[in-house]
Chain A
Amino acid sequence: MTRATMDGNTAVALVAYKLNEICAIYPITPSSTMAELADEWAAEARPNLWGDVPQVQEMQAEGGAAGAVHGALQSGALTTTFTASQCLMLMLPNMYKIAGELTSTVFHVAARSLATSALSIFGDHSDVMAVRASGFALLSSASVQEAHDGALIAQVATLEARVPFLHFFDGFRTSHEINTLDLLDDRTLRTMIDDRLVRAHRARALNPEHPFVRGTAHNPDTFFQAREATNPYYAAVPGIVAAAMERFGGLTGRHYCLFEYEGAPDAERVLVLMGSGAETARETVKYLAARGGKVGVVQVRLYRPFSAEHLLAVLPTTARRIAVLEQTKEPGASGEPLYLDVLAAVSTAVARGARATLPLIVGGRYGLSSKDFTPAMVKAAFDELLAEAPRHGFTAGIEDDVTHLSLSVDPAYSIEPEGTTRAVFFGLGADGTVGANKNSVKIIGEDTPLYAQGYFVYDSHKSGAQTVSHLRFGPQPVHAPYLIFQAEFVACHKFEFLERQDVLRYAAPGAVFLLNAPHAPDQVWHHLPRPVQSAIIDKKLSFYTIDASEAARALGLGFRVNTILQTCFFALAGILPRDEAIARIKDSIRKSYGRAGERVVEMNFAAVDGALERLHKVEVPATIDAGAVELPARVPANAPAFVRDVTARMFAAEGDTIPVSRIPADGTFPSGTSAFEKRNISDTVPEWVADLCIQCGQCSFVCPHAVIRSRYYDDEHLAGAPAEFPSATINTRGYPDTRFTLQLYIEDCTGCGLCVEVCPAHSPIEPDTKALNIVEKRPILDRERENIRFFETLPVNDRARVDSSNVRGVQFLEPLFQFPGACAGCGETPYLRLLSQLFGDRAQIANATGCSSIYGGNLPVTPWGVNHEGRGPAWSNSLFEDNAEFGLGFRLAADQHLALAHKLLAALAPKVGEDLAREIVTAPQIEETEIRRQRERVAALKVKLLALGESDETAANLLSVVDHLVRRSIWIVGGDGWAYDIGYGGLDHVLAQGRNVNVLVLDTEVYSNTGGQSSKATPLGAVAKFAAAGKRTPRKDLALLAIAYGNIYVAQVAMGANPQHTLQAFREAEAYDGPSLILAYSHCIAHGIDMRQGLHQQELATQSGYWPLFRFNPALRKVGANPFSLDSLGPSIPFKDYAYNEIRYRSLVETDPESAASLLAGAQKWVREKYMQYEDLAARDGSRFTIDPHGDETEA
């Protein structure tokens, strides 16, 4: 046996890859890793059990993956897929087919919540429960080891039973937990897998040499019988699985059962559950039973087919009360599915005389969306069973103050064994904390006799995210799939976290607290906020500090503090003798950095050696400082009540304590909460030099986080301005008394530097100085807070007076998309901010799932905001695959209600005024001034309608749809994964309808949100996940496909190449009364670039001819002009000069230089030929485009 530490996804993928010939894959959190690994291993030509390299095929959607799986299975190949959640739903129709045809396969599922009123990427069983009727057997694994083993057992069973298996384990809690496990070797796999069954599977394949048909249609005469004909196969499954488990136990010493009982043989109270929660319950039961508790737990492994016989065999007859706990919710049902199964099994047994008494059986819910499930909750469930009338449908882990179903849980209850060391680390995303902790787990779990567990919690921001690492180390295997709440070691790797939340709530009394602080050891205490000082004193913590950031700089490690802090951890936690720990860290450094060269290794060695010299113990005073710093308010006092009461608690990582009553039941949340977060994630920010600025507006145009605001205002408004409030005379002629201010919202700035890069104004006398320069934030923070306060008192510029047709004018439009948690320097968000500025006050946005739906709507942060009049984008996310259709629905409803409004208005014209009614219907609404006038008319109409009173039904009806009289701007927004792949069918259909919808594709050329998997937009030669060997086909030309329709406005833009062109395209697309499609080049962290150079890369993409700028405007056909306009010059640099600035292209040079060279040559050729295609289009006569049968273009 080989001992290893890894996460559940890896543990499962190792087995699944070995046992299959085909993997059809698609990315979805939290299962993507399994598919990524399979793709990587195939790219390395790693063989499966039979010595062959499996084919790994990415599909356009999970529906497609299921189809490909189905086809491969019908052709006799051993085939698998990896999935979760929504994507499992997309597989459902095929699952019925695959099961109906009695086909051997295993789907590996990292179980995840299904989106309801909200999406959640986290784990529960709602997805697997939704497919329980498909005919797949459902096998549940509760830990990393079980998932590894279960992957084999499922494969063994499916080959023999012919019933397909869905092998599932908890998303995140198991899929992402790192734990120590014993790996299965090939010999065990060989022994378990019977090749005769593999050949039998092949023999059942479609084969023209002995043909048959499968997949027929039945009439009522035979369909029913066909369904019943499968009964014997299902009846055999429990026995087959049990036998496989037994054989497995014999080979490995790890014994599993279909239903496994743990606890007192004479238990009176019993829990039944499956998944990782069962492991927590079993550990708790061991603890309680050892103390005399008559309690027990049944862990369900094989859920479908449900074997009552096997359940009853282990369920003690002494059980008087049973609670069935489930990680799913079935609204309106008499109970969740497992409850009903257990109830049926036990009550039937009683009714048939197989058991004497019927215990009371209740159901309960826990752990939805990875809500932590702890021993305290297990204990609470047992306590509930002691109640006179235990509640059915209770909940554990929340406070339900509405239907009062929640259990009361003792937060201090703990069963954690002696000898285990628990450590919690607060880190900043990408500061190396998580990586170092994963490394520590590996060092201890693999190189010492100790066992180790690591679990990592992230907030939902993509920049400056906070990570919390939960690590356990001990002499026994760690069976604790829940967060640590009492740690012997707490480390805070960023000082500012202390001001945001209660870091020390995790510290056990007497624990060690390590703080990375930018303060001298004898001063650091005085910088601690009062509650932190109090906790250190009250809990008698040993307090250590190090300025790791300074040490890293001094030691040449830049911002990477991980090695230094990891060394401090080992030195302080005492898990290993100090010298041994240091030797092991150094070993690990050599493994990790060896490839990067001796210098890097030596620098890290120096960091290890230097760390302890810089680590200081702080003498803790007996009392809190008299003038201790108070915690700043989480949100301003003037924030809306919901933000103060609910959102602020989520900001402070206290969302778990928010009761049910405070959470909207239908998923409706306030817009614009990002304005209250003030994350202060960057230590450096831009500063404006007023007298250098040429007021061009480029900086605010490209700012991904909308932190740069401009206003012009009369001189007189400066009365009362803070002394250092910067202001310049506006540089437009004829306005001598008008002032201009560029205000930077530095608390919301990520420090990405795009604004400085784009700023064209250089100082004539100071070297390297522009009108915007990056400076240290702390010295200017108070000043700028004052300035922002004053800036917000300046009058908002009138949209109707701003020239929004040029970049300079756009800066004066209020951004209604601000401070998203996107990556610093994100290439997508500037387009969204622009959209919000131009059309936000009348926009309705359908947003496909992806990065833009996460930074656009992952609570608690909602960046889509409202303007000073209370208007703003109405935003919603439906799914990944249906976004175009979702947006079309917006259009249909808007058109219908506009028609209704017109009809009602016509009927009411005599009452509200004929002129007003006519003007409202006929007035143009393209330019901002026209919209403004229409708003005034509609406002006047509303006044008149209200005056008519509620008794006027027609007026009341018109009021219900009156807002549609202002032209609504329907936007369909998403990434390339949606537009090119999973949503393409829908997008194509929607575009083809001729309706007035505007589609914005934020084209990063990969599935960015799930970590950079290849899409059909991924270019030739780029390496992406799922294209580990380099993409072998060029990107799909979505623009040309749309242009082929003839009546679709199509633009390809790149803000970094030509901002004015981008602006023009957005305005034309929106004004065009028909479908529009904008493809927006969005540089991305997944390209492997210095994000500060993102706009420059966009420019190079265009200069190389790879990303030409163009517009196809069908409106031009009305005047007989060529609708296609090629707006950028021909290639002026080689493709390589653009591409090889990006790791995605350079990766292949490293791994496969020959392919890299040939793909580069191919890509260059493709660029040239593509450009010539566009040139041909641009040179055409206007008449030579597809005729729009409904258009009124001039005759060809």
Chain B
Amino acid sequence: MNLATSYLGLTLRTPLVASPSPLNADVGHLRRLEDAGIGAVVLPSLFQEQLEAERDRLAAIHAQAADNNPEARGYLADAGLGPYGVGPEGYLDLVRRAKDALDVPVIASINAASVSGWVDYAAMVEEAGADALELNIYYVPVDITQSGAQIEQRYLDVVAAVRRAVSIPVVAKIPSFLSSVGHVVAGLAEEGAAGVVLFNRLIEPDIDLLRLKLSRELELSSPPELRLPLLWIAILYRQVRCSLAASTGVDNAEDVLKLLLAGADVVMTTASILRHGPDHVHTLLDGLRAWLDSRRLDSLDRVRGVMSRSRIKEPGAYERANYISLIQTYSREHR
């Protein structure tokens, strides 16, 4: 059974990719994923802003303890002047260790706060040996004077700048709240993105009613969320000149299949691995193979995109009319 997949110009042995999760910072975990059949791994994101805020916080802690008393040069051992693993060094070391330990491609991921940050960190991870680089891009456009076009241009600028700085493939992971997702994806491909991940799942804040504070708790994605990437992948399949990765909402082999049939080159998952453990990759792949087997197919490529908008007979089903009929169906069933 041939599950080999081309993604970002890389050849993957299977179409499953472990999307960034905190567990991916553990090389042992990555090895278990590889053993279970993962096609590639994406390392957790290096967040420039968080890293610099942490660095500033530690610098402030150091400063509070320096030169304020005749009896002490400072209160912390000079040997530890930081950045205590919060600098990029720790991350770059992870890239190196992951590369050493794995045979499957290792994709680094960064989130930067400035164009220079994107470029600098991109160069660093390339230098460290990453096979590809995922740009974890999102802006919450709180400034309402910014137009959709202006926001979208920022996405394009980041990809263009990084593309100029590195030679490894670059993939943009974008959020769904863009006025014209397809236009943006096409633009990103135009700027040199080798692929696009649909979508970046943001953790919006919640309100703590007791303390009247914002709270932020992570909830793993669930299968109903799969529909949005499925829709856009189905629409974009064969319409854009870059790889398409589906992310969000994958739990079982059926979910994987649906996204592949919609046209995804690869399917990413974190939630299912967090829920079921790294061996779950095995289960997903077995399910995939069983389905292909049952249809006597020996290659995944035969079915990829068969359910895309361009391949189905009634492309309109992916459009608004679909919505009206669904409501009608729902109403009938729940009457």
Q: Which residues of A contact B (CB under 8 A)?
A: 29-30, 32-33, 36, 40, 43-44, 121-122, 172, 176, 429-430, 432-435, 438, 456-458, 460, 462-463, 465, 467, 558-560, 595-600, 762-769, 854, 1008-1012, 1023-1025, 1027-1028, 1084-1086, 1088-1091, 1143-1144, 1146-1151, 1153
For residue A1010, which residues in chain B have a CB less than 8 angstroms away from its CB? 71-72
Q: Are B74 and A1011 in contact (CB under 8 A)?
A: yes
Are A1023 and B80 interface neighbours, CB within 8 A? yes
Residues of chain B in range 167-224 having any CB-CB distance to chain A below 8 Å: 210-213
Cβ–Cβ contact B85 & A1149, under 8 A: yes
- In the assembled complex, the Cα of A1147 lies from the Cα of B61 at a distance in Å of 13
Q: What CA separation (Å) do A767 and B212 show in the bound complex?
A: 5
CB of B151 within 8 A of chain A? no
Find out whether the CB atom of B72 lies under 8 angstroms from the CB atom of A1009: yes
Closest to A770 in B: B211
Q: Does B81 contact A (CB under 8 A)?
A: yes
Q: Are B80 and A1148 in contact (CB under 8 A)?
A: yes
CA distance A1023 to B60 in the complex (A): 19
Chain A CB within 8 A of B59 CB: yes
Q: Is the CB of B76 within 8 A of A1012?
A: yes
Residues of A contacting B77 with CB < 8 Å?
40, 1012, 1023-1025, 1027-1028, 1144, 1147
Contact residue among B52, B70, B76, B84 (Cβ-Cβ distance under 8 Å from A29): B70
Which residues of the other chain, A, contact B55 by a CB distance below 8 angstroms?
596-597, 600
Does B82 lie within 8 Å of A1150, measured CB to CB? yes
CB pair A1144–B59 under 8 Å, yes or no, is no
- Of all chain B residues, the one with the shortest Cβ separation from A36 is B73
State whether A467 touches B68 (Cβ < 8 A). yes
Residues of B within 8 A of A1008 (CB): 75
Q: Give the CA-CA distance A598 to B117 in the complex, in Å.
A: 10
Instruction: Report yes or no: B79 in contact with A1023, Cβ–Cβ below 8 A.
Output: yes
Chain B residues near A1024 (CB, 8 Å)?
A: 77
What is the CB-to-nearest-CB distance from B126 to chain A, in angstroms, rounded to a whole number? 17
Question: Does A1143 contact B73, Cβ atoms closer than 8 Å?
Answer: no
Instruction: Check A768 against B213 for contact (C-beta < 8 Å).
Output: yes
Number of B interface residues at 8 Å Cβ cutoff, please give it. Answer: 41
| Pairs across A and B, CB under 8 Å, 28 listed | A40-B79, A122-B70, A172-B70, A429-B68, A430-B63, A559-B60, A559-B63, A598-B120, A764-B212, A767-B212, A1009-B72, A1011-B69, A1011-B73, A1012-B75, A1023-B80, A1024-B77, A1090-B60, A1090-B61, A1143-B61, A1143-B76, A1143-B80, A1144-B77, A1147-B76, A1147-B77, A1147-B84, A1149-B85, A1150-B83, A1150-B85
Give the residue name and chain of the A residue nearest to B212 (CB): A767
A1028 touches B79 (CB 8 A): yes
Q: How far is the CA of A456 from the CA of B210 in the complex (A)?
A: 50
In the bound complex, CA of A467 to CA of B117 (Å): 38
Task: Kindly state the separation between the CA atoms of A1146 and B77 in the bound complex, as whole angstroms.
Answer: 11
Within 8 A of A (CB), among B268-285: none
Residues of B within 8 A of A40 (CB): 77-79
Q: Decide if B75 touches A43 in the complex (CB within 8 Å).
A: no
**Does B87 reach chain A (CB closer than 8 Å)?**
yes
Q: Which of B67, B81, B85 contacts A595 (CB 8 A)?
A: B81
B84-111 vs A, CB cutoff 8 Å, 1 = contact: the mask equals 1101101000000000000000000000
Q: Which B-chain residue is minimally distant from A825 (CB atoms)?
A: B64
User: B residues within 8 A CB of A172?
Assistant: 70
Chain B residue nearest in CB terms to A457: B70
Residues of A within 8 A of B211 (CB): 762
Partner of A430 from the list B57, B65, B81, B90 (CB cut-off 8 Å) is B65
User: A residues within 8 A CB of B88?
Assistant: 597
Instruction: Identify the interface centre among B57, B60, B72: most chain A CB within 10 Å of its CB.
Output: B72
Partner of B67, one of A435, A763, A764, A1091: A435
Q: Is the CB of B73 within 8 A of A33?
A: yes
B56 interface residue per 8 A CB criterion: yes
A767 and B213 contacting across the interface, CB-CB below 8 Å: yes
A560 to B83, CA, bound (A): 18
Known pairs A767-B213, A1151-B79, A1151-B80; A1143 contacts B69 (CB<8 A): no
Q: B62 in the interface, Cβ–Cβ < 8 Å?
A: yes
Instruction: Check A430–B66 contact: CB distance below 8 A.
Output: yes
Interface contact B70-A1147, CB-CB below 8 Å: no
B58 interface hit (Cβ, 8 Å): yes
CB-contacts of B97-149 with A (<8 A): 117, 120
Task: Output the least CB separation between A340 and chain B (Å).
Answer: 33
Residues from chain B with a CB closer than 8 A to the CB of A1012 are: 72, 74-77
Collect the chain A residues with CB atoms within 8 Å of residue B62's CB. 1088, 1143
Would A1091 and B64 be within 8 Å (CB), given that A458-B69, A1086-B76, A1143-B76 are in contact? yes
The 3 tightest CB contacts between A and B, nearest first, are A1147-B80, A429-B68, A1011-B72
Contacts of A1147 in B (CB 8 A): 76-77, 79-80, 84
Q: Is the CB of B67 within 8 A of A467?
A: yes
CA distance A29 to B68 in the complex (A): 15
Residues of B contacting A433 with CB < 8 Å? 67
CA distance A497 to B82 in the complex (A): 33
Closest to A1025 in B: B77
**A1028: chain B residues within 8 A (beta carbon):** 77, 79
Select which of A596, A766, A1009 is within 8 A of B82 by beta carbon.
A596
Task: Judge whether A597 and B52 touch: CB under 8 Å.
Answer: yes
Greatest chain A CB density within 10 A among B55, B56, B73, B212 is at B73
Docked Cα-Cα span, A432 to B73, in Å, equals 13
Name the contact of B66 in the complex, choosing from A435, A1091, A1148 (C-beta under 8 A).
Answer: A435
- Chain A residues, Cβ within 8 Å of B63: 430, 432, 559-560
Q: Is the CB of B61 within 8 A of A1089?
A: yes
B-chain residues with CB within 8 Å of residue A596 when the two chains form the complex = 55, 59, 82-83, 87
CA distance A1028 to B77 in the complex (A): 6
Q: Are B76 and A1088 in contact (CB under 8 A)?
A: yes
CA–CA, A1091 to B77, complex, Å? 17
Question: Are B52 and A1085 closer than 8 Å at their CB atoms?
Answer: no
List of A residues within 8 angstroms of B52 by Cβ: 597, 599
Among A36, A465, A763, A1084, the residue within 8 A (CB) of B212 is A763
B84 to A1011, Cβ gap below 8 A?
A: no
Bound complex: CA of A1009 vs CA of B73, how far in Å? 11
Q: Output the least CB separation between A681 and chain B (Å).
A: 11
Q: Kindly state the separation between the CA atoms of A599 and B48 in the bound complex, as whole angstroms.
A: 11
Q: How far is the CA of A809 from the CA of B96 in the complex (A)?
A: 59
Roughly how many angstroms separate A435 CA and B65 CA in the complex, as a whole number? 12
Min C-beta distance of A607 to chain B, whole Å: 14
**Known: A1011-B75, A1012-B75. Contact between A1088 and B61, CB under 8 A?**
yes
Partner of A462, one of B69, B76, B87: B69
A1146 touches B85 (CB 8 A): yes
Name which of B64, B71, B212 has the most chain A CB atoms within 10 A of its CB. Answer: B71
Complex Cα spacing A122 to B87, Å: 40
A458 contacts B68, C-beta separation under 8 Å? yes
On whether the beta carbons of B70 and A458 are closer than 8 Å, the reply is yes
Mark contacts of B41-63 with chain A using CB atoms, 8 A cut-off: 1 yes-contact digit, 0 otherwise.
Answer: 00000000000100111111111
B61 proximity list for chain A (CB < 8 A):
1088-1090, 1143
Q: How far is the CA of A29 from the CA of B57 in the complex (A)?
A: 29
The closest CB in chain A to the CB of B58 belongs to A1143
Q: Which of A764, A765, A1089, A1147 has the most CB of B within 10 A?
A: A1147
Q: How far is the CB of A687 from chain B (nearest CB, A)?
A: 18
Residues of A contacting B210 in the complex (Cβ-Cβ under 8 angstroms): 762
A83 CB to closest chain B CB (Å) equals: 15
